[in-house]
Each structure stands twice: as structure tokens, then as C-alpha cells.
Amino acid sequence: MEINSLKFIIFVAVVILLYFLTPKKYKWGILLISSYLFYWINSNQLIIFIIITTISIYLLGLLLGKIDKKLKLQCENVTKEEKKNLKERAKTKRKIIVFVALIINLGILGVIKYFNFFCGNINILLNLFNINIQIPSMKFVLPIGISYYTLQALSYVIDIYRQKIEADKNIGRVALFLVFFPQIVEGPIGRYKDLANQLYNPHKIEFNHIKNGTLLAIWGLFQKMVIADRLGIFVDAVFSNHLQYSGFIVVCAVLFYTFQIYADFAGCINIVSGVAEIFGISLAENFRRPFFSRSIQEFWKRWNITLGVWLKEYIFYSVAFSKWCLNLTTKLNLKLKKYKHLAKTLSALCPLFFVWIANGLWHGASWKYIFYGMYYFIIMAIGMMLTPILKKLCKYLKINVNSKKYKIWQILRTFFIVNIGMLIFRAADISSAFSILKSMFDFSTFGEFFNGKIFTLGLDVGEFIILGISLIIMLIVDFLQEKNYHIREEIEKRNVVLRWSIYYAGIFSIIIFGIYGKDYNPSSFIYGQF
């Protein structure tokens, strides 16, 4: 049941009706039951994995809470030395519990998602050393949302360990936190302290929530079905036979894919956020108009925000404050006293390396995704290294870094870098990515812009007109939002005729111009595959 399907719309409508008809005390139960039903419909028996994850973090969270409570009691009326020893023993036990949580949940994710990748590479190494042993590959089906709910589950345990939250004694609350149906497919990755009470506390019927949530979901469907899926037709045609194309056609395919994944991801987030808003629940912001970013660092603060925050909180800081990394930082500061910026940058690059390795692997079990992560790591490393030089150069050349022209240059530069990253992301493998990149600069074929070949790849002139208008609308909306223009509120201020004309235009544009798959089956979301 794709979230851009008629079945999902009917499912949501039924859940909304049941939720608002149910007494306050049991409203959260409707969300829990409907979420498990949604998961069962999409994954059948694979639901066992999210149940195992739920039970494991629930029990391990209670164990952490029990140790903390016991420590407080033991530390009463004891000497400082005894208190220190008690804390050390408790700390060791708490670390073991977190380690068990990591083993169980990353173990499940690792076996299902990465077993064949790692074993395939081990087999290659064994062949290189003429060792006649082969680890057989296995067929696994990924449960929906496993990459999302696993990170969410680990954040729950780690936050208890860090004493940011208390362990919840109600397993139903923990279960709902993980399986809440709007966000299970593609995020955002929620934090327990932000989401749990919203899910558990009952919400009244509020017209504004229903109206604003529905409008946001409609906008998301427009982005997905009218823009992303239409772009996907052209992109798939070129990337599936990339050796047949070069120059202008390939440039268009790469550019189109960047806009496709942008509209696809933004559309999904808007749909799930809109559905949650109908229930009075605010999901974490996960997408903030990244095409307006002036640097790669800023781009990743705007794109898949909750994944970036998770990697920063639980990998970057964990590595940065580890003993070996702190020792390395100390040594660098001593050896590079005269080059403080270099020492600071190298210290930051160490944990950043692990962040981008994790980011790449999170997206998929392939060297392509690791290479994708390393591409952004290298770009960021170069940017961090060259920052003082670029500042001096701008000052020497008397370039006003606060001018609109310079800001536009930064946005265009970032957009170009992102397009290369998206090319790596979309290509079948690393060698294909380099082949496509090389073919982009075959200027001998740029005459195809005039001979009409571009209209033979799934989209005719009429489709391009629809696509062009839709992209302009999306970019105007993004621009207005970037300028803090609250579009939904502004539409609400208009007269009833204009207001409802806009609403109906949005709905019918999806019905008339939306791209439907074979037998009217909706296409999957790109990030839902991870």
C-alpha cells in the first residue's frame, strides 16, 4: 500500500474516523492498531522484525532505568570513594546494555540488508588468495522502514543511557513510537522526547488541523505524481541505456534526476507530515528547501534533516569524544601549533569520516553508496581546508561576500556539486557513474537539442510543457517559503471563490496530470527503498 495510492487515502480516512470517534483514553490504541495493520499489509510476516526490535529496546530501556534507580539508592549515606566505585560499576553495566541493544538491532539490519554485500566482498578476497571457500548468498526481503525504525530504536536506548529521557514502562507507547504508520516508510526519524507524548496524548477534532494537513498532503501528491514520476520516465529511459546517449541528453537526465529525487522526497515528507497533522501530531522537520543552500554543509542540514541530526548526535559526537579521538586531537594541536585551523580541521575530519561512511552504507549495501558518501566527505574536507584561503582571496579581490551575486554564485556552485552526487547515487555502479560523467562532456552531440531526439524518451512536447509549468510552480512555492511567506495562511485570507479555486486546481491537476503506473499502480518512493 503505497502512500500515494487510493488505498492509502481510504485507509487514512477510516483511521481518522475511528480515531475521532474513540474515547480519549483509547485514541492512542487506534493509532497503534492501525499502524500495525498498515505494517502487516505491507510486510506480512516480516512484521516480526519490528516486534523484536520493540521488545528488545523496551526491556533494555527498563534495565537501564532500573540500574539508574538502584544507583541513586546505593549512593545514599556512603563515602565519596564508595560512591565513585558504585558509579563505575553501574557505568560498565549500562554500557553492556547499550552494546546488547546495538548488537541485536544492528545485527538484524546487518544480516538482512548487508549480508550478501559483505560476503560477496569476502569471497572476492578469498579468490585473490586462491582459497577455495565460497560463502553462499542468501535471499532476504527488506521489511519496510527497517533503516528508519532501527535508528529510531537505537536513539531511544542511547537517550536513556545518556539520561536525556526516562525509560517508558508502557510497551504500547514504545511500540507506537516505532511503528506510527505515516512515518514508517520514509521517515522522518523521530526522537522519543519529541514524539511519544504527541502520539499518546488524545487530540480533539480541529478543523484547522484537518484542513492544513490535507492541503500539505495534496501538495506532496502533486510533487510526487505530477513532477517526480513524470521526470522518472525520462531519467529511467536514459540511465537504463546510458551507453546509447551522451552530451545534452545525459546532462538533461542528470539534471532531471536531481529534480526527481527532490520532488519525490519532499512530496513524501509533505504527505506523511500532512497526515500526521490531521491527527494533531507534528513530525520533525526533514526537508527545508535544500536547493537554496550556499554550501554542501548547508545542503545536508536541509536535506533529510533527521538523518543528519541522528548521525551527528550518535556517530559524530560519539567518535569525537572517544578517548582515541581526543588523544589524536591533543597530538594534532601540539604538533600543529602554528597551524591552528589545520589542526582543528583534521580533528573534525576524523569523526566526519565515520559519519559519511555510515551515511553511504545507510543508503544501500553497495560500493557505489560508500563512494557516494566519500564524495561528499572529500568535498566537505576540501571546503573546510580552503576556508581561510578563500576568505583571504575574497578580501584581496574585494569581493562582497554578502552581495546577492555572490550568494547566487554559491547556490549555483552547490547545485552543480549536488548534481554530480546525484549522478553517483542514481548510476547502477561506480564504473557507470564515471562513464555517464564522461559522456556529459561530449559536446559533439549537443545538436540533439534542436533535432527533437529529447522528445523520443518517454515525454513528448505536451508532457514537457506540463513538466515545465509544474517545476516553475514548485520552485516559486519554495522561493516564497524561503522568504518566510506562509502560503497556506495567505491562501486562507483570500475570498472563498479564489481559495477553493486553488484547492480544486491542486486536486484536479493530480487527477488529470498525475503519472500512474502500469494498471494504475502507484510508483514507489525513492527513499522508501532504503
Q: pLDDT band at residue 530, thresholds of 50, 70 and 90? A: low
DSSP string over 316-367:
IHHHHTSHHHHHHHHHHHHHTTT-HHHHHHHHHHHHHHHHHHHHHHHH-SSH
- 520 — pLDDT class (breaks 50, 70, 90): low
pLDDT tier for residue 519 given thresholds of 50, 70 and 90: low
* Coil, strand or helix at 287: strand
Residue with cell string 499489509 = 41
The overall average pLDDT reported for the chain is 90
What integer pLDDT is reported at residue 80 of this predicted model?
80
Residues with Cβ within 8 Å of residue 7, at least 6 apart in sequence = 1
The pLDDT confidence band at residue 445, using thresholds 50, 70 and 90, is: low
- The stretch 486-515 carries a mean pLDDT of 86
What would the pLDDT profile of 141-151 be if each residue is shown by its tens digit?
888 999 999 99
314-318, 395-399, 477-481: least confidently modelled range: 395-399
| pLDDT score recorded for residue 338 | 79
How confident is the model over 387-407, as pLDDT tens digits? 888 888 888 888 888 899 999
* Average pLDDT of the residues in 222-241: 93
Using pLDDT thresholds of 50, 70 and 90, give the confidence band for residue 174.
very high
Calculate mean pLDDT across residues 119-139: 84
Residue 353 has pLDDT above 80, yes or no: yes
DSSP 22: S
- In whole angstroms, give the CA distance from residue 118 to residue 120: 5
CA dist 460 to 224, 233, 475, 518, Å?
A: 20, 11, 22, 19
Instruction: Name the amino acid, one letter, at 490.
Output: E
Residue 447 has pLDDT above 70, yes or no: no
pLDDT computed for residue 441 by the predictor: 84
pLDDT value, residue 358: 94
Q: What is the DSSP string of 136-197?
A: PP----PPTTHHHHHHHHHHHHHHHHTTSSPPPS-HHHHHHHHH-TTTTTT-----HHHHHH
Q: Other CB atoms closer than 10 Å to residue 210's CB: what's the count? A: 16
pLDDT at 475 (0 to 100): 94
**Rounded Cα gap, residues 4 and 263, in angstroms:** 13
What pLDDT, on a 0 to 100 scale, did the predictor assign at position 151?
95
- Reference 375, options 214, 398, 383, 50; nearest CA is 383
* Residue where the block lists cell 544507583: 71
Residue 92 has pLDDT above 60, yes or no: yes
Residue 135: pLDDT band (50, 70, 90) is: confident
The values of phi and psi at residue 303, to 5°, are -105, 125
Percent of the chain with pLDDT over 90: 59
